[in-house]
Structure 1
C-alpha cells in the first residue's frame, strides 16, 4: 500500500509540474507615467483576444492607471510558436506624486489630492507585483523623453536583481522628438524594440519578441 501511495504521489507531482509549465506567464508592463503602457496593453488585447476588450482607459493625464489591471490568457502566435500570457498593466512608477500635477488638468484640489493618494498607493502595488508576482517584464519608455532618470535606473536594476526576462519598448516613435538610440544607449544590456502603440507601428516585431522572450 505504501509503495502504491508513493507511486501515485509521484505521478501527481509530475502531472502538476507538467501543467504548471503550461500556465500563462504573468508579464508586467512597467515604466514611468504617460509612457504609453495602457495604450500598449490595449493594443495587445485588441489584437490577440476574442472580444478585444480594453485593459484600461487611456488618458494624457498622468497616473490614469492607479491600480494594476490584468488581462488573462492572451494567446500570441508568431512563426509557428504560441505563447500564453497574462498581461499586468501597472501604474506608472515615480519617486513622488504631487497633487499639483493634476491641477494643471483643470481638476479641483480635493479631487487632485485624492487622485495623488491613489496614485501613490498604485506605485506601491506596482512594486509589490514586480517583487512577488510577475514572470517577465515589458518596460515601456517614451522615446521622446530622456531615459536617464532615477526611476528608470532603479526599476531596471530591480528587474535585473530578480533575474526576470525583460524587453525594453521604445514607444511613441511617431513623435518628432523620438530617439530610439538614446534609449539603446541608456540600457545597452537589454534589447530595445521601437514601436508606436498608438499608431500600431512595428507591432509585428513587438509580437515576435514577446513570443521569443516569454515563450
Structure 2
C-alpha cells in the first residue's frame, strides 16, 4: 500500500501517478519498467515517488490492485433471472471493459501469462480478497434463486471458480497481449467452452436431464 503522503495528494495527482505507472508497466512489464520514465511522465522526482511507495515492486502491486478493483467495481450489481444469465452478462461486460481500458488489459495479461514470476505471483495472490468480495456480491444479487437440497452457494462458486481458472490456464497462451482486432476472435473459444460447463451445471451431464 502507498505511504500516507500519497493519500494527502489531490485525486488528480494520484491519478496522474497511477496512469504514468500503468503506461510504463503495461508496455514494459515489471522487470524492464523504468522508474525514471514513470517520474518523467508523472512530473515528479524519483525521491518523491519513493516517499509514496517503498520500491518498484510496491508500486507495481498497487497499480495492479487498482486495475483489478476498477474492473470488479464496474460490474453491474443488478438482479438477474439466473446465475447463468448473470455470468453471461458479466462475460459481455468484461469484453466491453477491456476495449475501454486497453492498458489495464495489457498489464494484467502480462501478469497472467507469467504466473511463476515472483512479483506477478504476489499480484495474483492479492486478488483473492477481490474475488471473494465479488462472490459475496453475486450471492446477494442472486439471493432469490433456489438451489436444490444439499447444494450450497459455496459448492456453486467453487465450481465456477475452478472452471474459470482452468479455462484461463488453457487459453491464456493464445490470447493477444494487446487490445487489437484479434481480441474478440481469440476469446470466443474460451467463451464457447465456458457455456458448455455452465450448461452442465444447469442441466446436468446425463442424457434426458431436463431444464429446471
Common fold: TM-score over 0.5:
no
Task: Flag the structure with higher helix content.
Answer: 2
- When normalised by structure 1's length, the TM-score is 0.25
Task: Flag the structure with higher strand content.
Answer: 1
- When normalised by structure 2's length, the TM-score is 0.26
